[in-house]
Structure 1
Amino acid sequence: MSATLRRALLASPTPAAQAAEHELRERYDWTGLDEAELVVALGGDGFLLQVLHQLLERRSSIPVFGMNLGTVGFLMNEWHLGGLEERLARTKPFKVSPLEMIAETIDGEVRRLPAINEVSLLRETRQAAKVEVSVNDRVVMPELVCDGILAATPAGSTAYNLSANGPILPLGSGMLALTPISPFRPRRWRGAILPDRARIALRILESDKRPVSAVADQREVRDVARVEVEIDRMRDLTLLFDPEHALDDRITMEQFIA
């Protein structure tokens, strides 16, 4: 990655990120997002997702180099003030294809939202959700009784999906994780690993009595009746990583953490 590309600098509103932004602006040259060929993002994983969604809305495919000034920072590089141009010249790019969620509410409203990590369905009340699960127009589970269910990309498989006991998917695996959240029936079902060309449809049973919300990363649609999920191959994103902190290596090593 060339260090001569025009760069935009974006920072989360936390004190640590704001202080780092001030230091970087004094040391390096920056441009506005509209003119940028590369974005440097300061914050945590949540802020990086916000930046990536901002680029999706702009239909922009410029690469993003994140530096961790948040909590976990799984998708971020380490924060360093110096040597930025040399780091950018050595970065390793990774393509990330987002999911597209098409959610239809019980009132007939249709919402299309992208998701970089996962699409999750969650019950809205104390009653468990009942969901019919279809893959490629075939009903594979007539009734799943659960707190919810999620579909995760490899990049998102170490986030909510892992907390729900879903599998970790290496980048480039060409797979999606379909993971139940607190399944009650069938109690032994632990989810499925699907080809990333699969079309997933989730129909809410008894949606008036057992309301369910759908969340694409951080954006929620309440009272859904049906949700369709598949990879959006028209809107790839590019993340940049230091060679020693490449995302595929981090995902691999996550499987050995007790």
Structure 2
Amino acid sequence: MNWAVIANPDKPGLQAPLLAAIRILHNRNQTVRLPSSLFGLMEPHPGQSDNKEADKPHLVRCTNENESVSGSDIVLVIGGDGTILHTAQRVMNLEIPILGINTGRLGFMASIQPQEIEAAVEQILAGNYEIDRRKMLTASFQGILPEKQGEGTKADELTRVFHALNEHLFYKKGHVSLISVTVRLNGQLLNRYLADGLIITTPTGSTAYNLSAGGPIVMPGTDVMVVTPVSPHTLTTRPVVVPLDSKLQITIDEPDGTALYAYDGIQMPIGQNPVTITASPNHIQLIRLPHQTYFQTLRNKLMWGLDQREKRE
């Protein structure tokens, strides 16, 4: 079986779990496809005696992450949920499942701890796991890539399409003033928001920025998306849950060009052309092991039911 490994080489503390994972896979005759960006952390590594390529029969050096993923059966992501969001842009609709090893903070999607890697690999090799299919949302609008501005391309000639596993976000540069956003649902006015920002989230993203902004937790697999204002000027403005087959049209009511748009943390300037948000044709697959359930993850990560008095006793 071929395993791609994706991680952020600049994150501290990566080397130990990376070497442990490769050693575990090496000992089970698994092929590891490693992007060049991670090879600097491979000193030493299992199966390597004198740093020669010939001594790494189960370790394939790939030019980049896309090459690593393209020949793999499973993608092993070492990091936090941010690293999984990064990986989602590379694996969406490839039907290659992701196993997340959490070296970040909460880790709702990267739910395996470093000390559990060996047990997780054993379960997967035994076929003892399930696939958790996570849907995405698409945003499309007319606009020019920042690096193409000034080259004669008209904004109306270029349609930009982005797919988000967590959320699409609209906000203002610097967050020093409110942003005005008009939202239409299937052609009908939903609301005109005056807020610090506006989040359109998937069920997967409901435990991310949406949760911090007071939005609801939505169980993955539920066919909805959530419209959540960030610190709205009107206190009665609340998050709204809408069907996944809805068509949202977002219009930025800001003539000064200070509005920003982000999908899964990747930000860019945005003009006043309407943004259409719909269900994406893309998805990702997360590996869920037998002992894992969504609500168990919520209880552990959010410390539901934890009595602090018990810790003091």
Q: TM-score, normalised by structure 1?
A: 0.86
What corresponds to 1:221 in structure 2?
Answer: 268
- Counterpart contact for 2:225–2:242, Cα < 8 Å: yes
Higher mean C-alpha deviation, range 241-250 or range 33-42? 241-250
1:73 aligns with one of 107, 113, 120: 107
Distance 1:63 1:110, change over 3 A: same
Matched, 1:10 2:44: no
Q: Could you say what the CA RMSD is over the residues aligned between the two structures, in angstroms?
A: 2.4
**Structure 1 residue 252, shift from structure 2 partner:** 7.4
How far apart, CA to CA, are the structure 2 residues paired with 1:136 and 1:257?
40
What corresponds to 1:23 in structure 2?
Answer: 20
- Counterpart contact for 2:132–2:285, Cα < 8 Å: yes
**Structure 1 residue 124, shift from structure 2 partner:** 2.0
How far apart, CA to CA, are the structure 2 residues paired with 1:151 and 1:38?
29
1:191 aligns with one of 228, 235, 239: 239
Higher mean C-alpha deviation, range 10-19 or range 147-156? 10-19
- Counterpart contact for 1:103–1:221, Cα < 8 Å: no
3-state SS in 2 of match to 1:96? strand
- Counterpart contact for 1:61–1:235, Cα < 8 Å: no
- Counterpart contact for 1:157–1:167, Cα < 8 Å: yes
1:37 aligns with one of 73, 98, 120: 73
Matched, 1:50 2:105: no
Distance 1:78 1:101, change over 3 A: same
Matched, 1:119 2:115: no
- Counterpart contact for 1:176–1:196, Cα < 8 Å: yes
**Structure 1 residue 249, shift from structure 2 partner:** 4.4
3-state SS in 2 of match to 1:42? strand
**Structure index of larger Rg:** 2
- The answer for unaligned runs of 5 or more in structure 1 is none
Query: How many equivalent pairs are there?
Result: 248
**Percent identity among equivalent residues?**
23
What corresponds to 1:140 in structure 2?
Answer: 190
- Counterpart contact for 2:298–2:304, Cα < 8 Å: no
Return the structure number with greater relative CO, CA threshold 8 A, min gap 6.
1
2:178 aligns with one of 128, 138, 155: 128
For 1:176, the aligned partner's letter is M
What corresponds to 2:133 in structure 1?
Answer: 95
How far apart, CA to CA, are the structure 1 residues paired with 2:258 and 2:143?
10
3-state SS in 2 of match to 1:102? strand
Consecutive aligned runs of 4 or more in structure 1 exceeding 6 Å deviation: none
How far apart, CA to CA, are the structure 2 residues paired with 1:180 and 1:164?
7
How far apart, CA to CA, are the structure 2 residues paired with 1:39 and 1:150?
29
> Which whole-Å deviations, capped at 9, do the CAs of 1:93-147 have from their partners, x for residues lacking one?
1111111111345973542111100001112253321111101121122x22111
Q: TM-score, normalised by structure 2?
A: 0.72
- Counterpart contact for 2:299–2:305, Cα < 8 Å: no
What corresponds to 2:62 in structure 1?
Answer: none
How far apart, CA to CA, are the structure 1 residues paired with 2:285 and 2:295?
14
Higher mean C-alpha deviation, range 29-38 or range 215-224? 29-38
- Counterpart contact for 2:134–2:221, Cα < 8 Å: no
